[in-house]
């Protein structure tokens, strides 16, 4: 019942959003849906609801974690959206090229945001690989109009790339899903995760491996693993900042969940070496590509997008290593979403004030908009994994696990890439916060500052201490993946 | 030669003629024909008695791929002022040669894969791989947005052929979800193309950066 509500409330809100003409009601609806969703998610922490739809939809610990992250980020983004939509003019001039453009009608934007949440919830709850595929593709479709909010040629190019590349990628994952069926032809109901896990001994290994290769290229495309991450920088930099925050902090995780579910089958079948090695390889490769593009990146939103490629790489690497790194990966996922949400929302404030995305044109954020400046600077240290922020704990644990398992070469590369990325990002971001813009101090609205500040505070707290309920959940997940 | 093999030959021919055609109108017709064949495939493949679901599904797929997609594509074609693919990255002659090579590789590949006894026809998996390849090849080698959408449809047809070839029975709900998603993908691509043609006066994805 609760599971059905979690999916249906945002879906219904989205459908209603198309038709509500009163601006106030529309925005109130968005906030109400976001608040209800997180309240229901919170309730699931206390009382884990049973499965529905013949067990196709159920909430396990992995799903609960992913859903909570998405839901929390969605609430922050919706509050930010209220202030953003209020300020956004009907027609405006592009800062870089000087042409005029309009926005997508607000009702479509708000409707798609809620349908997007519904699709992401469906991804988190799916226990059936076919359903999972349908849900992940649905997230692409719901988010495509969000990227095309500012109607001009660059966002159009970004949307086109996004829909085409992601759909082809997810198509490959469908082929992978079919191969999974072939590999498990001895099992009844062979796309149900629970059936696959219970009968993992009956699975035909070569077909399963082929399926995983297609999963990691297919869902990996959407997750942003190199070399198929090419849609990601354009989509993240052209969409409104609150959408970038959701794409980076929630959507990428959802595609990762697709890969993670199949990895779980490998763990149960005792073949996690194969899937783990692939995850390690793609993880490190993504980090390397991200490092290459972050250094000397001119557009600061693109820089954040490449940083997402890097962090998805770290997630993949940690999951591939297994053991304590699984715990660290999941912790990394939470903290990355919080931190990246904060940074993208802060970037939105910077763009609103400076009207540019070129980092060299932005100077003196700390003086001109001090609250955002503090968030931006703190965000740099948080995303780079400095103590006392949460990402320090996870990045360090992954390093330690790699070292303990005897992967000296991998841990050396990992550390080197982290250093290069930190150097690249700090050069860009510190130059933006410091200096003098020549303009006086400007007023910042509470709606634009509080959501990123709360996200930042959350990752700071998680860096200092892990609450018991979260610790239990993460231990539960680690146990599923064979650690401890 | 049984019915399934004959159909496979038809599918190969549709792919090859798609690689050789530059006119959008012709391409749309070929894609529609391929969609209808693909939709009917499970009916021919079934050994046992057909359920009401398999008829429903076949009807749905033929409607979406044989009627709705061509309609959507034609509708888009009317709103854009291009009639044919202009200067693809890889020419039509070369495309055909690459297609034939891909066909050979697909057949060679499938002889090395251990399939179960339960299989539609021995040529079917090879044709599935070939169709998937053709779809992907069209997406990367053609410039116009409309052709890329057709490439996506062909790619998806290939995956569907793979499913039918190995007699994979999905549950009805999942099939329904898949076809709905694919339909919306093409629909959104159509809308995006409409905006592209309004903003640029062309749908040349290679020139989206210029303004």
Is the distance from CB of A476 to CB of A61 less than 8 angstroms? yes
For helices A370-383 and A390-404, angle between their N-to-C axes, nearest 10 degrees: 10
Q: Which of A197-206, B25-34, B89-98 has the lowest mean pLDDT?
A: A197-206
CA–CA separation, A204 and A261 (whole Å): 17
pLDDT at res. B47? 64
pLDDT at res. B46? 67
pLDDT digits (tens, 9 = 90+) for A339-397: 999 999 999 999 988 888 888 888 888 888 999 999 999 999 999 988 889 899 999 99
Is the distance from CB of A245 to CB of A77 less than 8 angstroms? yes
> C-alpha A111: how far from its chain's center?
20
Interchain proximity A167–B185, CB inside 8 Å: yes
How far does the CA of residue A437 sit from the closest CA of chain B (Å)? 30
pLDDT at res. A285? 94
B183 touches chain A (CB under 8 A): no
pLDDT at res. A44? 92
Is the distance from CB of B201 to CB of B161 less than 8 angstroms? no
Q: How many CB pairs under 8 A join A and B?
A: 94
Least CB–CB distance from A153: residue in B180, B185, B199: B199
Judged against a pLDDT cut of 60, whether residue B211 lies above it is answered with no
More confident of the two residues A115 and B171: A115
The candidate with the shortest Cα–Cα distance to A56, out of A171, A191, A175, A257, is: A191
Judged against a pLDDT cut of 80, whether residue B172 lies above it is answered with no
For helices A252-268 and A106-125, angle between their N-to-C axes, nearest 10 degrees: 10
**Chain B residues with CB inside 8 Å of A168's CB?**
136, 139, 152, 155
B136 touches chain A (CB under 8 A): yes
pLDDT at res. A76? 95
CA–CA separation, B6 and A214 (whole Å): 30
Interchain proximity B178–A133, CB inside 8 Å: yes
Q: Which of A171-180, A200-209, A253-262 has the lowest mean pLDDT?
A: A200-209
Most confidently predicted of A61-75, B11-25, B140-154: A61-75
Judged against a pLDDT cut of 90, whether residue A195 lies above it is answered with no
ipTM, two decimals, is: 0.91
- Helices of type H across A88-152: 106-125, 129-147
Least CB–CB distance from A160: residue in B173, B208, B211: B208
Judged against a pLDDT cut of 60, whether residue B111 lies above it is answered with yes
> C-alpha B122: how far from its chain's center?
21
B152 touches chain A (CB under 8 A): yes
Is the distance from CB of B179 to CB of B42 less than 8 angstroms? no
Share of chain A above pLDDT 90, in %: 63
**Chain A residues with CB inside 8 Å of B171's CB?**
130
> How close are the terminal C-alpha atoms of chain A, in Å?
34
Interchain proximity B162–A175, CB inside 8 Å: yes
pLDDT digits (tens, 9 = 90+) for A427-470: 999 989 888 877 788 888 889 999 999 999 999 999 998 999 99
Mutation target vs A (from B164, B177, B207; most A CBs, 10 A cutoff): B177
**Chain A residues with CB inside 8 Å of B170's CB?**
130, 181, 191
pLDDT at res. B117? 64
pTM more than 0.95: no
Share of chain A above pLDDT 70, in %: 99
For helices A252-268 and A129-147, angle between their N-to-C axes, nearest 10 degrees: 160
Judged against a pLDDT cut of 90, whether residue A481 lies above it is answered with no
CA–CA separation, A54 and A139 (whole Å): 23
State how far the alpha carbon of A93 is from the alpha carbons of A83, A90, A100, A300, A355, in Å: 20, 10, 4, 20, 10
Judged against a pLDDT cut of 80, whether residue A239 lies above it is answered with yes
A128 touches chain B (CB under 8 A): yes
Is the distance from CB of A51 to CB of A127 less than 8 angstroms? yes
pLDDT digits (tens, 9 = 90+) for A275-326: 999 999 999 999 999 999 998 888 999 999 999 999 999 999 999 998 889 9
Is the distance from CB of A452 to CB of A382 less than 8 angstroms? no
Is the distance from CB of A341 to CB of A308 less than 8 angstroms? no
Is the distance from CB of A429 to CB of A375 less than 8 angstroms? no
More confident of the two residues A186 and A415: A415
Task: Find the helix or strand (DSSP H, E) in which A96 lies.
Answer: none
Residues 157-216 of A with CB under 8 A from B: 157, 159-160, 163-164, 167-168, 171, 174-175, 178, 181-182, 185, 191, 206
Mutation target vs B (from A105, A143, A175, A185; most B CBs, 10 A cutoff): A175
pLDDT digits (tens, 9 = 90+) for A48-88: 888 887 888 999 999 999 999 999 999 999 999 999 988 88
Q: Any idea where the domains of chain B sit in the sequence?
A: 3-207
Give the residue carrying structure tokens 């013949």: A54
Judged against a pLDDT cut of 90, whether residue B167 lies above it is answered with no
Residues 100-129 of B with CB under 8 A from A: 114, 116, 118
Judged against a pLDDT cut of 90, whether residue A214 lies above it is answered with yes
DSSP letter assigned to residue B66:
I
Least CB–CB distance from B208: residue in A134, A153, A167: A153
pLDDT at res. A293? 92
Confidence band (pLDDT; 50, 70, 90) for B48? low
A156 touches chain B (CB under 8 A): yes
Is the distance from CB of A479 to CB of A324 less than 8 angstroms? no
State how far the alpha carbon of B178 is from the alpha carbons of A131, B76, B172, B173, in Å: 9, 23, 10, 9
Angle at A73 between CA A70 and CA A76, to 5 degrees: 150
Q: How many CB atoms lie within 10 A of CB B9?
A: 12
CA–CA separation, A400 and A402 (whole Å): 5
Judged against a pLDDT cut of 90, whether residue B164 lies above it is answered with no
Token pair of A363, please?
């100077």
Task: Find the helix or strand (DSSP H, E) in which A282 lies.
Answer: helix A272-294
Mean pLDDT rounded to a whole number for chain A: 90
CA–CA separation, B21 and B155 (whole Å): 17
pLDDT at res. A257? 95
DSSP letter assigned to residue A465:
-
Q: Render the burial of B54-67: b for 16+ CB within 10 Å, e for the rest.
A: beebbebbbbbbbe
Query: Per-residue DSSP letters for B83-114?
Result: -B--S-SS-HHHHHHHHHHHHHHHHHHHHTS-
State how far the alpha carbon of A243 is from the alpha carbons of A11, A73, A124, in Å: 18, 11, 19
DSSP letter assigned to residue B202:
S
Could you give the 3-state DSSP secondary structure of residue A151? strand
Least CB–CB distance from A178: residue in B155, B159, B177: B159
CA atoms within 13 A on the CB side of A306: 22
Most confidently predicted of A191-195, A228-232, A254-258: A254-258
């Amino acid at each position: 019942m609760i599971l059905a509500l979690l999916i249906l409330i945002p879906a219904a809100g989205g459908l209603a959003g198309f038709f509500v003409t009163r601006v106030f009601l529309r925005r109130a609806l968005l906030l109400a849906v976001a608040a209800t969703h997180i309240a229901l998610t919170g309730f699931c922490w206390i009382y884990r609801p049973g499965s529905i739809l013949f067990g196709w939809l159920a909430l396990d610990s992995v799903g609960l974690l992913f859903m909570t992250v998405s839901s929390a980020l969605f609430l922050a983004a919706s509050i930010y959206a209220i202030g953003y939509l209020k300020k956004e003019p009907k027609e405006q001039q592009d800062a870089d090229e000087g042409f005029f453009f309009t926005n997508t009608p607000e009702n479509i934007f708000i409707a798609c945001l809620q349908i997007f949440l519904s699709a992401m919830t469906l991804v988190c709850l799916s226990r059936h690989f076919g359903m999972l595929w349908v849900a992940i593709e649905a997230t692409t479709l719901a988010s495509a109009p969000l990227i095309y909010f500012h109607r001009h040629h660059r966002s159009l190019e970004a949307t086109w790339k996004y829909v085409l590349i992601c759909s082809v990628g997810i198509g490959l994952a469908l082929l992978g899903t079919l191969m999974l069926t072939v590999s498990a032809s001895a099992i009844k109901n062979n796309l149900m995760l629970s059936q696959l896990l219970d009968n993992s001994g009956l699975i035909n290994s070569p077909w399963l491996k082929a399926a995983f290769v297609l999963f990691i290229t297919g869902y990996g495309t959407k997750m942003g693993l190199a070399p198929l991450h090419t849609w990601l920088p354009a989509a993240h930099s052209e969409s409104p900042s609150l959408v970038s925050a959701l794409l980076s902090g929630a959507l990428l995780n959802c595609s990762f969940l697709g890969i993670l579910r199949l990895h779980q089958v490998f763990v149960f079948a005792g073949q996690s070496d194969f899937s783990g090695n692939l995850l390690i390889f793609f993880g490190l490769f993504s980090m390397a590509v991200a490092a290459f593009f972050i250094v000397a990146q001119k557009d600061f939103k693109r820089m954040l997008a490449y940083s997402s490629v890097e962090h998805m790489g770290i997630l993949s690497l940690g999951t591939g290593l297994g053991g304590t790194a699984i715990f660290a990966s999941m912790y990394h996922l939470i903290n990355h979403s919080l931190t990246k949400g904060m940074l993208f929302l802060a970037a939105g404030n910077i763009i609103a004030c400076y009207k540019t995305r070129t980092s060299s044109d932005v100077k003196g954020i700390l003086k001109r908009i001090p609250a955002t400046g503090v968030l931006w600077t703190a965000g740099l240290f948080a995303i780079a994994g400095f103590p006392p922020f949460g990402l320090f704990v996870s990045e360090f644990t992954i390093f330690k696990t790699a070292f303990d398992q005897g992967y000296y070469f991998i841990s050396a590369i990992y550390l080197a890439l982290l250093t290069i990325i930190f150097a690249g990002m700090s050069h860009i971001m510190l130059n933006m916060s410091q200096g003098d813009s020549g303009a006086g101090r400007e007023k910042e609205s509470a709606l634009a500052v509080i959501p990123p500040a709360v996200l930042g505070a959350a990752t700071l707290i998680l860096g200092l201490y892990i609450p018991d309920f979260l610790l239990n959940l993460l231990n539960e997940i680690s146990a599923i993946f064979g650690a401890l | 030669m049984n019915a399934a093999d004959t159909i496979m030959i038809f599918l190969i021919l549709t792919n090859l003629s798609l690689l050789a055609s530059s006119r959008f109108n012709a391409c749309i017709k070929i894609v529609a024909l391929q969609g209808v064949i693909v939709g009917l495939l499970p009916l021919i493949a079934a050994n046992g008695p057909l359920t009401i679901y398999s008829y429903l599904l076949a009807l749905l797929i033929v409607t979406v791929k044989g009627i709705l997609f061509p309609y959507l594509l034609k509708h888009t074609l009317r709103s854009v002022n291009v009639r044919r693919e202009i200067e693809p990255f890889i020419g039509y002659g070369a495309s055909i040669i690459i297609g034939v090579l891909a066909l050979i590789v697909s057949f060679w590949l499938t002889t090395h894969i251990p399939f179960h006894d339960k299989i539609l026809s021995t040529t079917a998996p090879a044709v599935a791989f070939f169709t998937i390849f053709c779809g992907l090849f069209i997406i990367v080698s053609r410039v116009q947005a409309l052709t890329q959408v057709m490439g996506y449809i062909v790619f998806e047809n290939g995956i569907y052929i793979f499913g039918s070839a190995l007699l994979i029975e999905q549950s009805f709900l999942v099939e329904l979800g898949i076809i709905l998603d694919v339909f919306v993908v093409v629909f959104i691509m159509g809308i995006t193309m409409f905006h592209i043609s309004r903003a640029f006066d062309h749908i040349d994805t290679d020139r989206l950066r210029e303004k």
